[in-house]
Structure 1
Amino acid sequence: MEIEIIRSSILLVTFIFLGGLILKKDQNKKRNWAIFYSLIYVGTTLPIVNYVFVELGLWEFSEKNDIKMPYDLYFLWTIMWGVIPVFFLKKHDFKFLFIIILWLDLLMMPQLEKFGILTLYDNWILGEIALILAVFIPAYLWSYLYYYQKMNGIRAGFQVMIMILLLFVGLPYLLYFYQLIPQPIFRRSSIEFQVLLILAFPALSATQGLVRKGKGTPFPYDATKRLVRNGVYAYCRNPIQWSQTMIFFSLSYYHQSWIFLIGSIISVAYVFGVAEFQEREDMENRFDHEWSVYLSQVPNWYFLWKPINIPKGTIYFDRNCQQCSAIEAWYQEQNTINLEIKAASEYVGTPLTKVTYIDGNGEEENGINAIAQAFDHIHLGYASLGWFIHFYPISFLLQLIIDSMVFDRVEECEINNRKT
């Protein structure tokens, strides 16, 4: 009875704390979104990691439920790791927080066992440290990087990871808990995986484009600094939402349940009923006429076969290299759109050491990435191949292969050299 009073009191204090944060007059919008990102990470990963550790025999809660931990402890744990640390985002706060969090957990876990809430087994301390490494530290890192607007690629990576966990782990188990689908099974199927990858790839490629070209992330409240009009966005205005909608069809087939199709309906309704209006106003405010032109040329929900007005790009080839000249000749034969093909000798600046593509914003791509980027100027078939080639780490591996090859040239070929 005593422990129930303590748990209820802690919950009451926590709700009062959250109410004070919500009702506070002078809101720090930036910190609020940092809290959101931290919360969504902890809330998603904590039950998954705890479930794994319970299955591994590191500890076990006495209360039996679907997430293998008491719901009130899950809530309190999420607040403690997802909200409070975000108020300590200065450079030297992390070491202090890490020590405090570890000390509190090592102190509280035996106390919970004493009150009969859980049972600790061998190596539970290692599990606790692993839990902090897998849940608390990434959540804090995400909120820190967002708050100081650093490393947008890592921030986007967190977003992709959370969406994967929610769609492929969280959602199936949630539906199973409410007995809407049979128990989720994670079987291996190369064909289903390939179909899923094809459907998801426009979103993955679009995310990379938003990071590298737009200098931002897919989340609207961690938005891009530039309007991205090349890559996947030269063919479809909402490739991420398109992929998400199609993924629900594959999930429906995979789990043999029509219930996932509701996700597709909700996704389409969100795009046309909510995102369309919010996006237009926001994009018009940020990009003005450039957005209006793009809006009139690129469809919202399907892919063009040829880009109507992709931003002008220029690709430079070394005409003293037989292989490079052959690739240049191939491009010359294609009916490219807004692609200018030039000799490397025409490049103004430091002499080029690789095939180089320069987009409308002056961003450079070299080597295999340059060739892949230029595919966008042909049609959807070649563009899709280019998105695959350009996707990291595929582009990195392909470039390594090319760099190891010997080309027919008196001097070394530009596509084979690395910048020094």
Structure 2
Amino acid sequence: MTTLTGADPTLIRAACLFGPLLATGAALLRRPPDRRTLAAAILATAWNAVWLPALNLLAVNRAWWTFHADGGSAAGLPLDLLLGWTLLWGTLPVVTGADRIGLPLLTAGLAWFDLAAMPLAAPVVRLGPHWLAGEALAVTFVLVPGLLLARWTARDRRLALRAGAQMLLSGALMLALPLALVRPTLPGGRAGWAIAGQLLAVPLLLGVVAVREFVQRGGGTPLPYDPPHQLVTSGPYAYVRNPMQLSVVLFYTLLGLLTRDARVLAGAVAAYAYGAGLATWHEGGPMRKTYGEPWTAYRAAVPAWLPRLRPWPGSARARLYVAESCGPCSQFGHWIARRRPVALELVPAERHPQPLRRMTYETDDGAVRTEGIAALGRMLNHLHLGWAILGWLLVIPGLQRFVQLCADALGAGPRDIPQSPR
């Protein structure tokens, strides 16, 4: 056990909190962050704020280190130490510009500082014989991903990974943490949760598809400081303006009904109030200022919370290429046409500029191009809400590939489609 005697715990806790806090304040005053830097700082800080407590709970459980503090703690973790640690690893590297240096050098510098500071934090922090194992895990799974996320955000790179990290953070903060505190129960134990999990996946799927639409069609993320570069009106946004917020409200409402827990239903009310407030602020300011008349028309036609049954006719347009020379394909094309798809043009696959081998879906702006079952999933968004939900299910990992495999086995596999004059 590594300890230092005679150290004042109050002084140690104050230094761990006010050192990073004052350094962060000084850096912000010296160089106010621009929009992308602010987004990078928010995400890096949030990443550390979520995963540092989890890592420390694991460390205490494995006796890598333990905390000995009176007051100001949650689940046995001193909040001041966690906040200082979060600022040191998440906020400071971004607001000071240190994230511009090489990642290996920056990681080594922060890790070295941590290795030096941990023993000096005794007796508030008492290190076990294998504390370096915990430190290695913290650097690998908390520090480095946070630095990467900040770097990608500041430089507008790795869009899909940035959006995925934001979904992970949102799930941890808005779903996992509240449920861990409330701990609702379901009849049937594990079997009940297994069934409930499948039901709860449906509203969560709405949020996932909405994020995907932000990435693919808008070139941005859900974070207001890292938004899409163009107005997104396709996918779930053709039916409802706030699909991400709606997915959380539906999740808590459904879970509250299943568990008959008033606290969970209160979470649905809180999620609605938060979502409505955020949406009102965002719609009244940045959206109207950025997109002007197109946003006004979209806002007037698409409800905020109660989805339309048919997609908005003014949503982003696309084309579906279906082969006329293939009997079953042609029949399927007629089936689609009879359902009067919205903002979708049916075009013979033979007229495509390039040879096609499967049904192909393309957006007019060229942002999305999919084939086979993936094209089917996209096409269903243009029919009505029921078909759209079925199409959203195809984004579940592995399901789209499985359905495509089954379709190929039943004769809907790729085939050579002869080109004809346009």
Unpaired runs of at least 5, structure 2? 1-5, 418-422
- Determine the C-alpha separation between the residues in 2 that align with 1:383 and 1:7: 53
Confirm or deny: 8 A CA contact 1:369 1:389 kept in the other structure: yes
Distance change in 2, residues 1:107/1:253 (3 Å):
farther
Q: Which amino acid aligns with 1:128?
A: E
Aligned residues: 401
Confirm or deny: 8 A CA contact 2:382 2:388 kept in the other structure: yes
SS in 2 for 1:228: coil
Q: Which amino acid aligns with 1:229?
A: T
Using the TM superposition, give the Cα deviation of residue 193 of structure 1 relative to its aligned residue in structure 2, in angstroms. 0.4
| Bigger mean CA deviation after superposition, 351-360 or 198-207 | 351-360
Confirm or deny: 8 A CA contact 1:146 1:222 kept in the other structure: yes
Any idea what the Cα deviations from partners look like across 1:200-242, whole Å, max 9, x if unmatched?
1111111111111111111221100121211111111111111
Aligned mate of 2:54, from 48, 56, 61? 48
- Determine the C-alpha separation between the residues in 2 that align with 1:333 and 1:79: 58
Using the TM superposition, give the Cα deviation of residue 73 of structure 1 relative to its aligned residue in structure 2, in angstroms. 1.8
Any idea what the Cα deviations from partners look like across 1:250-269, whole Å, max 9, x if unmatched?
45456654223333323333
Using the TM superposition, give the Cα deviation of residue 159 of structure 1 relative to its aligned residue in structure 2, in angstroms. 0.9
- Determine the C-alpha separation between the residues in 1 that align with 2:356 and 2:278: 47
Match in the other structure for 1:89:
99
Any idea what the Cα deviations from partners look like across 1:158-181, whole Å, max 9, x if unmatched?
1110111113332234568xxxx8
- Determine the C-alpha separation between the residues in 2 that align with 1:49 and 1:267: 27
| Bigger mean CA deviation after superposition, 379-388 or 102-111 | 102-111
Using the TM superposition, give the Cα deviation of residue 270 of structure 1 relative to its aligned residue in structure 2, in angstroms. 3.5
Q: Determine which structure has greater relative contact order: mean sequence separation of CA pairs < 8 Å that are 6+ residues apart, divided by chain length.
A: 2
- Determine the C-alpha separation between the residues in 1 that align with 2:133 and 2:83: 23
Distance change in 2, residues 1:117/1:277 (3 Å):
closer
Match in the other structure for 2:415:
412
Aligned mate of 2:64, from 37, 43, 58? 58
Normalized against structure 2, the TM-score is what? 0.85
Distance change in 2, residues 1:229/1:6 (3 Å):
closer
Distance change in 2, residues 1:187/1:147 (3 Å):
farther
Structure 1 vs Structure 2 CA RMSD: 2.8
TM alignment of 1:3-402, pairs within 5 A: 3-4=8-9, 5-24=11-30, 26-63=32-69, 65-86=73-94, 87-90=97-100, 92-112=101-121, 115=123, 117-122=125-130, 124-174=131-181, 187=190, 189-253=193-257, 257-309=261-313, 310-347=315-352, 349-363=353-367, 364-391=369-396, 393-399=398-404, 402=407
Distance change in 2, residues 1:346/1:203 (3 Å):
same
Any idea what the Cα deviations from partners look like across 1:111-164, whole Å, max 9, x if unmatched?
445x46313144x32222111111111111111111001121111111110111
Distance change in 2, residues 1:217/1:345 (3 Å):
same
Match in the other structure for 1:417:
none
Q: Which amino acid aligns with 2:78?
A: P
- Determine the C-alpha separation between the residues in 2 that align with 1:252 and 1:282: 34
Any idea what the Cα deviations from partners look like across 1:326-356, whole Å, max 9, x if unmatched?
4223223323233322211122x22223211
- Determine the C-alpha separation between the residues in 2 that align with 1:325 and 1:257: 51
| Aligned-residue identity in percent | 26
| Bigger mean CA deviation after superposition, 80-89 or 227-236 | 80-89
Distance change in 2, residues 1:167/1:312 (3 Å):
closer
- Determine the C-alpha separation between the residues in 1 that align with 2:238 and 2:331: 27
- Determine the C-alpha separation between the residues in 2 that align with 1:301 and 1:354: 36
- Determine the C-alpha separation between the residues in 2 that align with 1:175 and 1:405: 47
| Bigger mean CA deviation after superposition, 267-276 or 149-158 | 267-276
SS in 2 for 1:300: coil
- Determine the C-alpha separation between the residues in 1 that align with 2:199 and 2:124: 48
Confirm or deny: 8 A CA contact 1:407 1:413 kept in the other structure: no
| Bigger mean CA deviation after superposition, 219-228 or 275-284 | 275-284
Distance change in 2, residues 1:297/1:29 (3 Å):
closer
| Bigger mean CA deviation after superposition, 189-198 or 329-338 | 329-338
Confirm or deny: 8 A CA contact 1:152 1:215 kept in the other structure: yes
- Determine the C-alpha separation between the residues in 1 that align with 2:74 and 2:376: 50
SS in 2 for 1:203: helix
SS in 1 for 2:145: helix
Q: Which amino acid aligns with 1:8?
A: A
